[in-house]
């Protein structure tokens, strides 16, 4: 059983690294293509990343274009931060000693990061809806604010459980 658990934890670590690298590539591509659309070629707004087309918004209002794409980039960077925290957790997690302060702090940071992603998603969804009511064509997007709130809550609950586990472990060590 111990071998299976360690194998699964190592496999998860590899998967987290792969996800982190993919998200970094996506965020980097968004940032670079956004910068190119601003400074070099406005036609770049038509294909920011994998067909993401904000050219209609660029033509409608340049400042709204900057605002919307900034939200998309901020969400992508928040996903990178969450993936980095997952990699960090997979590196420090020890099955032999799961309840320690480092795990609690990292889970708490992961919960905060997921909540930040939820807030950015809510802002992006609201902003998109507001722009579309004004007749601006936007690419279809699922901001997934509900899913981010759900995961922020789950991770928060896990951090509370781990925090209680650290408390109980500490009390147990003081008892003779």
| Tens digit of each residue's pLDDT (9 = 90 or more) over 31-49 | 999 999 999 988 888 888 8
Compute the C-alpha angle 126/29/92, nearest 5°.
90
**Structural domain of 58:** 2-174
The reported pLDDT for the residue numbered 51 is 82
Enter the pTM of the model.
0.89
Domain count, the chain: 1
The reported pLDDT for the residue numbered 34 is 95
What is the pLDDT averaged over residues 57-83? 95
| Tens digit of each residue's pLDDT (9 = 90 or more) over 4-15 | 888 999 999 999
Task: Reply yes or no on whether the pLDDT at 146 is more than 90.
Answer: yes
Write the secondary structure of the chain as one string of H (helix), E (strand) and C (coil).
CHHHHHHHHHHHHHHHHHHHHHHHHHHHHHHHHHHHHHHCCHHHHHCCCCCCCCHHHHHHCHHHHHHHHHHHHHHHHHHHHHHHHHHHHHHHCCCCCCCCHHHHHHHHHHHHHHHHHHHHHHHHHHHHHHHHHCCCCCCCCCCCHHHHHHHHHHHHHHHHHHHHHHHHHHHHHHCC
| Tens digit of each residue's pLDDT (9 = 90 or more) over 52-69 | 899 999 999 999 999 999
The reported pLDDT for the residue numbered 111 is 96
Q: CB-hemisphere CA count at 13 Å for 74? A: 18
What is the pLDDT averaged over residues 137-155? 92
């Amino acid at each position: 059983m111990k071998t299976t658990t360690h194998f699964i934890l190592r496999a998860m670590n590899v998967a987290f690294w792969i996800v982190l690298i993919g998200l970094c590539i996506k965020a980097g591509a968004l940032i670079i293509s956004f910068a190119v659309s601003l400074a070099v070629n406005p036609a770049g707004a038509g294909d920011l990343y994998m067909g993401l087309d904000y050219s209609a918004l660029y033509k409608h209002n340049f400042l709204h274009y900057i605002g919307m794409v900034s939200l998309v980039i901020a969400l992508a960077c928040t996903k990178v931060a969450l993936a980095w925290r997952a990699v960090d957790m997979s590196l420090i997690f020890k099955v032999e000693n799961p309840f320690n302060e480092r795990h609690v702090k990292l889970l708490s940071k992961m919960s905060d990061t997921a909540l930040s992603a939820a807030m950015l998603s809510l802002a992006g969804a609201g902003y998109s809806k507001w722009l579309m009511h004004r007749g601006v064509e936007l690419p279809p997007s699922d901001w997934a604010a509900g899913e981010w709130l759900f995961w922020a809550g789950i991770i928060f609950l896990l951090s509370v459980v781990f925090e209680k586990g650290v408390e109980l472990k500490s009390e147990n060590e003081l008892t003779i």
